[in-house]
Amino acid sequence: MKFKAVKIDVNSGDNFILLNYSDAKKLDVQIGERIQVIIKGKKAVGIIRITTQMVKEGYIGINSRLLNELGVDFENDITVEAKKIEINSSFDYIRKKFKGFDLNENEILQIIRDISEGKTSDLETLMFIFSSYYNGLNLEETINVSKAMAETGNKINITGKVVDKHSIGGVPGNKVSLLIVPIIANSELYIPKTSSKAITSPSGTADTMSVIANVELEPSELISIVNKTHGCIAWTGKLGISPADDKIIQLERPLRIDPEGLMIASVLSKKIAMGIKYMVLDIPYGKGTKVEDYNYGIQLAQKFKDVGDALNIRITSAITYGSQPVGHTVGPALEAKEALEGLMNPSKAANSLLNKSASIAGLLFENTGLVEKGLGYDSAITLIFSGKAYRKFKEIIEAQGGNPNVKPEDLPIGQYTYDVLADKEGYVTFLDNSIINYIARMLGAPYDKGAGIYLFKKENYKVAKDEPIMRLYSNSESKIDATLKYISYNKPYMISGMLLESYP
């Protein structure tokens, strides 16, 4: 049936649709049942609410959350098609996985197709996420989820040797993509770097880049930018690649869970869609990261390689030092500022930022045969110190609609600040990544782009009593107050003197 749409300006916890009682009878739907709505070719599912007065016969009320998911610009009296959704076979397959059984290729394709087309409810998708989390996905299932996610979305075709890097995350302040992309783009390689917005961290690559330039690119815009500059940094949301994964991530984000099999499929489905043939995977290792056990890091690298081989993507993993943040900043605007400063004036940049960026870019140069083994790092670091990486970054910023002459001081950081002071003299012997991530999110990141942390002191730094260790930034005073209360019970750092203990 076709209806005229009415916007219900309520952003509730679920997608709901209001139907007049008479229209509900015609559609043969009851309260709590699901219908699919189609607007301008975009599809989503809503839960039925029935009214006799709020919506007239022939009209359909769609709430704000559902309109946001559809990603369409609302117009009054726009025509909407609505279809009753019968119980579909994918729910039976989700239940099968929930019970601990393996799924075959066709069953997985049906689940992913229904998620991408909006035919599954949030609860059904959550059931699939938790089934994957607790029961795991085997190698064959992970390969099939990766392929299904790619097949049910757009494909981006870029002519040339297309490469990428990806980090599994977990380390605060990992803004290295903003350096790696312009390094690689200075060569014959093409690097269309795409990123989801942060799931468990205070800032994903797309969140950080969005402070400087537009990351919401249509497929044609991305292709044009990459053909011109050899690189870009874009959010996956508008590209239409792996749409099922975007819906899964939306549900994972508030839960802060990232099941291993779905994480691998999420990464590689988007690489398939982007035509990536070579990839370096950054696996940060250390206390407070996702990989605290070195052997698990090697196992994860092997799993990525096995899935990549099946998908014709050559993957090299870089096991990187991850026991403390990369550089000195955590949070979108602060990280963008530090990355920009690093490209403009590398002699004053943090060694961790420069070394990690050049090491990963160097591996891409070597793996594609652009330079001989062992020469990649030198080639990459030279592009930074010569200024070529900065000039290329300016090109990319301009191509993505930003100001190429933007200065670090132009970036909007939080208006409220507070310095956390050392309570004694000594050396910083430990920084807790997980607490740093958590307090940066408490301050408002990544939604508040200016929120975050500046670390004056990192591991092995000497500190005097009452000297600042970190500065908190937010655009909300109450968030800073709440964060300080949390820090008083959960310190994100440890200070030790030379004398650790006396006995007896």
Closest CA to 6 of 66, 56, 61, 53: 61
In a domain, 79, yes or no: yes
* Residue environment code for 187-222, b if the CB has 16+ CB neighbours within 10 A, otherwise e: bebbbbbbbbbbbbbbbbbbbbbbbbbbbebebebb
- Assess if residue 295 is contained within a domain: yes
Last residue of a domain, one of 348, 374, 408: 408
* 143 in any annotated domain: no
Percent of the chain topping pLDDT 70 = 96
User: Which ranges in 345-469 belong to alpha helices (H)?
Assistant: 351-367, 376-385, 388-399, 433-442
Q: What is the reported pTM?
A: 0.84
Residue 229 and residue 392 in contact, taking contact as beta carbons nearer than 8 Å:
yes
14 confidence band (pLDDT: 50, 70, 90): low
Task: Please check the confidence at residue 60 and state whether its pLDDT lies above 90.
Answer: no
CATH number of the domain where residue 448 is located: 3.90.1170.30
Distance CA 201, CA 197 (A): 9
Residues 304 and 205 in one domain: yes
Q: Is there a domain that residue 26 lies in? A: yes
The verdict on 399 and 308 lying in the same domain is yes
Count of structural domains within the chain: 4
- Examine residue 229 and state whether it is found in any structural domain, yes or no: yes
> Do residue 80 and residue 94 come from a single domain?
no
Q: Mark which of 84, 115, 144 sits at the end of a domain.
A: 84
Residue 337 domain-assigned (yes or no): yes
Query: How much is the average pLDDT of 468-492?
Result: 96
Report the relative pairing of strands 278-285 and 416-421 from DSSP bridges: unpaired
Q: Are residues 218 and 309 in the same domain?
A: yes
162-175 pLDDT per residue, tens: 999 999 888 899 99
Do 78 and 93 reside in the same domain of the chain? no
Q: Is residue 268 part of a domain?
A: yes
Residues 170, 278 within the same domain: yes
Encode 148-214 in three state secondary structure: HHHHCCCCCCCCCCEEEEEECCCCCCCCCHHHHHHHHCCCCCEEEEEECCCCCCCCCHHHHHCCCCC
Spatial separation of the C-alpha atoms in residues 287 and 439, rounded to whole Å: 17
- Beta strands 231-235 and 79-84 are unpaired
Check whether residue 468 and residue 352 sit in a common domain: no
CB atoms within 10 A of CB 11: 11
Give me the mean pLDDT over the 293-315 stretch: 95
For the chain, first and last CA: distance in Å? 83
Give the chain's mean pLDDT: 91
318 touches 284 (CB < 8 A):
no
Among candidate residues 177, 148, 124, the one with its CA nearest the CA of residue 262: 148
Q: Express each pLDDT in 180-192 by its tens digit.
A: 999 999 999 999 9
Whether residue 324 is contained in a domain is answered as yes
CB 188 within 8 A of CB 159: no
User: Which residue range forms the structural domain that includes residue 420?
Assistant: 416-496
**Mean pLDDT over residues 123-152, rounded?**
95
Torsion of CA 471, 176, 447, 348, to 10 degrees: 30
**pLDDT at residue 29 greater than cutoff 90:** no
Identify whether residues 30 and 119 lie together within a single domain: no
Domain of 12, CATH number, reads 2.40.40.20
Same domain, yes or no, for 115 and 189?
no
Residue ending a domain, among 408, 426, 446, is 408
Residue 254 banded pLDDT, cuts 50, 70, 90? confident
pLDDT at 364 over 90: yes
Which of the four pLDDT bands, split at 50, 70 and 90, describes residue 211? very high
CA gyration radius, the chain:
24
Q: In one letter, which amino acid is 385?
A: F
Give the residue numbers annotated as catalytic, written as ranges.
258
Q: Which residue has the tokens 């430990």?
A: 430
Q: Which pLDDT score is estimated for 87? A: 67
Instruction: Clarify whether residues 420 and 287 are in a common domain.
Output: no
* 442, pLDDT greater than 90: yes
Distance CA 180, CA 193 (A): 10
- 72 with 93, same domain: the answer is no
Q: What is the pLDDT of residue 258?
A: 83
Beta-bridge mates of residue 339: none
pLDDT greater at residue 53 or residue 165: 165
Give yes or no: residues 489 and 426 share one domain. yes
CB 3 within 8 A of CB 83: no
**pLDDT band at residue 199, thresholds of 50, 70 and 90?**
low
pLDDT value at residue 252: 84
